[in-house]
Amino acid sequence: MIDGTIFGTGALVGGLLGALIVGFWIASRVRASVQAQLLTAGERAQRAESLADELRRQVLQERLDLDRIRQDLSEASQARAVAETRAAEAALDLNENNHVLDVGCGIGATTEYISDLTGAKFTGIDLAAPCVERATRGGRSPGVRGACGSCPCIAPL
């Protein structure tokens, strides 16, 4: 027969070993869970960094596009200024005895300016009816008149 003390000691040692085994199992499960959470957090951080890099690249591209648009606008403004200067130079030779045909007059702002400056008469024509309507609206110089129409030999853009 087994002595009660030995039995009690065996049961105590068995209980301690069982508790240790359960403790190790719980610790390994907790460690695995924490590692999974850290990995998930690391993956999220990596994705966030990747998205941030993509946004930085897009912002840089938008800046480059904006700079290109500004450059194009500047060049267009310079070209317009040159054209207006040439028109003004040509207008210096005009007087009230001249009649000028402005093809593609738009709203007629330049035409009106040169008519006021020189006294020359102008007829402006344009394919866009709203532009001609605005150009011939009241308040224009008496020497400016407009017409709208189409020309079969010119294909509108």
Digits of tens for pLDDT over the chain (157 positions)?
A: 567 787 778 778 888 888 888 888 888 888 888 877 777 777 777 888 888 899 888 888 888 888 888 888 888 878 877 787 777 777 678 888 988 888 888 788 878 878 887 888 888 888 877 877 777 776 566 666 666 555 555 444 4
Count of residues in the chain: 157
> Are 108 and 124 in contact, with CB atoms under 8 Å apart?
yes
**Locus of tokens 């596009």:** 65
Quick one: which of 121, 57, 132 has its CA closest to 94?
A: 121
d(CA 117, CA 144): 12
Q: Give domain limits for the chain.
A: 1-91, 94-150
d(CA 8, CA 144): 121
* 94-150 CATH, one of 3.40.50.720, 1.10.40.30, 3.40.50.10190, 3.40.190.10: 3.40.50.720
User: What region does 119 belong to: left with phi over 0, alpha with psi -120 to 50, or beta?
Assistant: left
Return the ∠ at Cα 99 (arms to 98 and 105), rounded to 5°: 135
One-letter amino acid of 69? I
pLDDT of 140 = 63
pTM attached to this predicted model: 0.40
pLDDT of 4 = 75
